[in-house]
Chain A
Amino acid sequence: MPLKTEEMILNVGPQHPSTHGVLRLEVTTDGELVTSAEPTIGYLHRCFEKYAETLTYQQIIPYTDRLDYLSSMNNNFGFVVAVEKLMGIHVCERAERIRVIMAELNRIASHLMFIGSFSNDLGAMTPFLWCFRDREEILKIFEEVSGARLLYNYYRIGGLAADLTPGIEEKIYSFLNQFEAHMLELDDLFTRNAIVIARLKGVGMIPREMAIAYGLSGPMLRASGVDWDCRRDEPYSIYASLRFEVPVGGEKLGALGDCYARYLVRRAEIDQSVSLVRQCLADIPPGDVKEQVKRNVRPPVGEVYVRTENPRGEIGFYLRSDGSTKPSRVKVRAPSFCNMSVFSRISKDILVADMIAILGSVDIVLGEIDR
């Protein structure tokens, strides 16, 4: 009599070490082989978009902190850029420079968090703590500037909540100097580790066409060889005047569209962000960063859609104004949400360990997926 076998349905999450929050994956496994993996989301839904309609524009800013809570500065940035575009406000050079410094520092912090949790998913414990050591320094800088360590609420429509504190430039410089040395050590420990490469090469391949078809953005898109970055191709703020490269998967980074490429793109972006912070720090003009607009802004009737480059991809803010102090509609295009859509497509006929690696390489934040 042949042995009867059956597929096993595994619930990965909502409480599981590798789901990075409250995500549930319904996984069908045949032994170690994953035959399908369907994400179930919504455990963290808090009606941000609807709730925003009851708030004034300034009041929405702290709520954007909580979308992608690992890159609050960037969320603030996207939202204020959208409102400023709707109102036609010009922001002074000093405020713009500080905004870019904070956004890029936050990008570094967010990518450090990615590398840390990703290495933890692969079973390496030390890179996690090394990354957190450096992220801590960034959080200290943010705390000094904005008063908060995670949810900064630092950007304002037309300016910033507060100016730089005296002496913070030196602190940022000294952080960057030691940070670059630390990154070389991280490369020795993790990036070129033979087991890391064996675990990630060719895993979770996303071809160029698939990446575009699923609407991926950010490092996910660039790892698949699409050379697109909002900061360069649709510049906002002062990015047009800054010099930086856009790391793209492919021959230069030694991989295309697999988990390793996604890791390498983010790793290379850290270096670019360091360079951007240095450029902006080099000459910050004097000026007043406080907003020159009223507290309760009344944008003219109309609508606007602005996309900016978050660490996880393009965050898009759609705002519709009816001329009152509150928006009549807010819609957020969350990069993690779109990036996650490709997950079940590439998580077929792989091993359980690969599924965890793929999930880690997508780098999701549930606060943003569920909003």
Chain B
Amino acid sequence: MQGMYETLLAALGAERVIPFSVGFAVLVVVFALFAAIMGAVVALIMVLAERKISADIQERIGPNRVGPMGFFQTVADAVKLLTKENVLPRKADSILHYCAPTLVFTGALLPVAAIAWSNRIVAADLNIGVLYVVGTASFGVIGRLMAGWASNNKWSLLGGMRAAGQMISYEIPNSIAILSVIVLAGTLNLQELSEAQMGGIHQWFVFRSPFAFVACLIYLVSSLAEVNRTPFDLPEAESELVSGYHTEYSGIRWAIFMMSEYIGMVVVNAVAVALFFGGWNGGLPGEPLLGGWIWYLLKIAVLMYCQVWIRFVLPRLRIDQLMSLCWKNLVPLGLLALLGASVQALMGPTGQRVMMVAAWLVFGGFVTLLFVAVRKTRHVPAQGGFSG
């Protein structure tokens, strides 16, 4: 960012007019505001997209009153939420109750700084980018726990405890999956990670190593849990805990929780794209067409669609199933993938080529298995199809 600042000043010819510290501070504030506003805009678009996609899945029409095809429904909702009363429950811890949404929002927004949207657009080109993202993303747990505790509501408390247990547990397979790619790429910098995947779709890590492919699946599953999406939406399980940790929130504070959830989705998917799906690369050799950020956003949108799709198809897991999935399945599998990736990192060019073929085989096998499984179970009559 410092580099960007200097370039900007040089372009304006104003190096000598504004003191460096002041100008830099202003730029930081401007960038932060921009990020926050973009976060809100992303949340607005995502809410609308989710409602439209869910309507499609559920054979409804979805919002269709405000604006053309209901496109301004979320704007109307946002205005409503802004003007709505902020209710503070009696005997609630007012300071914690007030701080919690802010903290969650901060945790969701901070990682955005390190993400490399294209080979030029990056707010903070950190050499420990991935570590920073993982670290700041886990910030939200504290806020959720605070919200659950401060609300003076038993449902909130249960939700807060669930959020803490779940998010901390799933950070482990999440981080292990990330590590597998880090070992292969040899860098923590998100920009360099994207650069390492230049040169076509076969250079994407998910297609370069079978271990990265496994790590990718683990990452996608655990990232769902990280952002509390179905089937891992236990912290806010509506049918069980009313609304979980944000039961007692209303108005804009509630909206901040929702915004954080959607920004969190963008972040986990952005990291997934940077790590496994070629970052800002277009999939063809050479410079990405139309600018890398378009490809980046496109890939994020595809992953987001999958998350929404999953939400409206699957029911929720139970807390013990959630934990055993994490500790008994994802963590051991992730460790194996990490081990394999480490071995692959030591191999020479021939070994890498063999691994690439293996990755495609694993990918093909996975898709075939999925296809066969779907074909086999589709439209089987309810009786007698299963036993035991």
Report A's interface with B, CB cutoff 8 A.
Answer: 8, 10, 16-18, 29, 31-32, 119-126, 129-130, 133, 183-185, 187-193, 195-199, 247, 251-254, 264, 267-268, 271, 351-354, 356
Contact of B54 among A125, A185, A197 (CB under 8 A): A125
Q: Would you give 29 A-B contacts (Cβ < 8 Å), ordered by A?
A: A32-B158, A120-B239, A121-B239, A122-B316, A123-B230, A123-B237, A123-B315, A123-B316, A124-B313, A126-B57, A187-B382, A190-B315, A195-B314, A195-B316, A195-B317, A196-B315, A198-B321, A199-B315, A199-B317, A252-B384, A254-B386, A254-B387, A254-B388, A351-B318, A352-B158, A352-B241, A353-B240, A353-B319, A356-B240
- Cα A351 to Cα B237 with chains together (Å): 14
| CB-CB nearest in chain B for A189 | B313
Contact of B315 among A17, A122, A133, A187 (CB under 8 A): A122
Is the Cβ of A124 less than 8 Å from the Cβ of B158? no
**Which residues in window 334-388 of B have CB below 8 A to A?**
377-388
B248 interfacial contact with A, CB 8 Å: no
**Which residues in window 215-232 of B have CB below 8 A to A?**
230-231
B58 interfacial contact with A, CB 8 Å: yes
B242 interfacial contact with A, CB 8 Å: yes
Q: Which residues of B contact A352 (CB under 8 A)?
A: 158, 240-241
Contact of B382 among A8, A133, A191 (CB under 8 A): A191
| CB-CB nearest in chain A for B241 | A352
Name, among B316, B380, B385, the residue most crowded by chain A CB atoms within 10 Å (CB to CB): B316
B60 interfacial contact with A, CB 8 Å: yes
Q: Which residues of A contact B313 (CB under 8 A)?
A: 124, 126, 189
Contact of B239 among A10, A133, A252, A356 (CB under 8 A): A356
Is the Cβ of B378 less than 8 Å from the Cβ of A188? yes
Q: Which residues of B contact A253 (CB under 8 A)?
A: 383
Q: Which residues of B contact A183 (CB under 8 A)?
A: 382
B386 to chain A, nearest CB (A): 5
| CB-CB nearest in chain B for A270 | B382
Q: Which residues of A contact B125 (CB under 8 A)?
A: none
- Cα A356 to Cα B238 with chains together (Å): 11
Is the Cβ of B240 less than 8 Å from the Cβ of A195? no
- Cα A367 to Cα B234 with chains together (Å): 30
B373 to chain A, nearest CB (A): 10
- Cα A320 to Cα B246 with chains together (Å): 54
- Cα A209 to Cα B207 with chains together (Å): 57
Contacts A123-B231, A192-B385, A251-B387 given: A353-B237 contact, CB under 8 Å?
A: yes
| CB-CB nearest in chain B for A195 | B315
| CB-CB nearest in chain B for A356 | B240
Is the Cβ of A130 less than 8 Å from the Cβ of B59? yes
Q: Which residues of A contact B161 (CB under 8 A)?
A: 31
Q: Which residues of B contact A16 (CB under 8 A)?
A: 242
Is the Cβ of A351 less than 8 Å from the Cβ of B319? yes
Q: How many residue pairs between the two chains, A and B, have CB atoms under 8 Å in the bound complex?
A: 112
| CB-CB nearest in chain A for B311 | A125
Is the Cβ of B59 less than 8 Å from the Cβ of A192? no
Known contacts A10-B155, A122-B316; can you find 16 more A-B pairs with CB under 8 A?
A8-B154, A17-B242, A32-B162, A123-B314, A125-B311, A184-B379, A187-B379, A190-B315, A193-B314, A195-B315, A198-B317, A254-B388, A351-B319, A352-B240, A353-B316, A353-B318
Q: Which residues of A contact B132 (CB under 8 A)?
A: none
- Cα A120 to Cα B59 with chains together (Å): 16
- Cα A59 to Cα B318 with chains together (Å): 48
- Cα A271 to Cα B383 with chains together (Å): 10
Contact of A188 among B59, B234, B321, B379 (CB under 8 A): B379
Contacts A122-B316, A123-B315, A267-B382 given: A10-B59 contact, CB under 8 Å?
A: no
B233 interfacial contact with A, CB 8 Å: yes
Contacts A18-B240, A32-B158, A351-B319 given: A192-B380 contact, CB under 8 Å?
A: yes
Name, among B238, B240, B312, B313, the residue most crowded by chain A CB atoms within 10 Å (CB to CB): B240
Is the Cβ of B318 less than 8 Å from the Cβ of A252? no
| CB-CB nearest in chain B for A18 | B239
- Cα A120 to Cα B315 with chains together (Å): 8
Is the Cβ of A122 less than 8 Å from the Cβ of B239? yes
- Cα A351 to Cα B321 with chains together (Å): 11
Name, among B57, B58, B311, B315, the residue most crowded by chain A CB atoms within 10 Å (CB to CB): B315
Contacts A32-B158, A184-B379, A351-B320 given: A195-B387 contact, CB under 8 Å?
A: no
Q: Which are the 7 A-B pairs with shortest beta-carbon distances?
A: A123-B316, A124-B315, A129-B58, A122-B315, A18-B239, A121-B239, A353-B318
- Cα A126 to Cα B161 with chains together (Å): 28
Encode B156-170 as 1/0 by CB contact (under 8 A) with A: 001001100000000
Q: Which residues of B contact A247 (CB under 8 A)?
A: 383
| CB-CB nearest in chain A for B379 | A184
A347 to chain B, nearest CB (A): 14
Name, among B161, B162, B314, the residue most crowded by chain A CB atoms within 10 Å (CB to CB): B314
Q: Which residues of A contact B318 (CB under 8 A)?
A: 198-199, 351, 353-354
Is the Cβ of A124 less than 8 Å from the Cβ of B240? no
Q: Which residues of B contact A29 (CB under 8 A)?
A: 158
- Cα A278 to Cα B59 with chains together (Å): 27
Q: Which residues of A contact B237 (CB under 8 A)?
A: 123, 353
Contact of B377 among A124, A192, A353, A354 (CB under 8 A): A192
| CB-CB nearest in chain A for B165 | A32
A114 to chain B, nearest CB (A): 14
- Cα A133 to Cα B57 with chains together (Å): 13
| CB-CB nearest in chain B for A197 | B386
- Cα A16 to Cα B378 with chains together (Å): 35
Is the Cβ of A130 less than 8 Å from the Cβ of B316? no
B163 to chain A, nearest CB (A): 13
| CB-CB nearest in chain B for A31 | B161
Is the Cβ of B383 less than 8 Å from the Cβ of A188? no
Is the Cβ of B57 less than 8 Å from the Cβ of A123? no
Q: Which residues of A contact B388 (CB under 8 A)?
A: 254
Q: Which residues of A contact B380 (CB under 8 A)?
A: 187, 192
Is the Cβ of A188 less than 8 Å from the Cβ of B315? no
B380 to chain A, nearest CB (A): 7
Contact of A192 among B58, B312, B317, B386 (CB under 8 A): B386
- Cα A187 to Cα B311 with chains together (Å): 18
Contact of B312 among A121, A126, A197, A252 (CB under 8 A): A126
- Cα A126 to Cα B308 with chains together (Å): 12
Is the Cβ of A129 less than 8 Å from the Cβ of B240? no
A22 to chain B, nearest CB (A): 15
Q: Which residues of A contact B240 (CB under 8 A)?
A: 18, 352-353, 356
- Cα A197 to Cα B312 with chains together (Å): 17
- Cα A17 to Cα B154 with chains together (Å): 15
- Cα A183 to Cα B380 with chains together (Å): 11
| CB-CB nearest in chain A for B60 | A129
- Cα A267 to Cα B381 with chains together (Å): 11
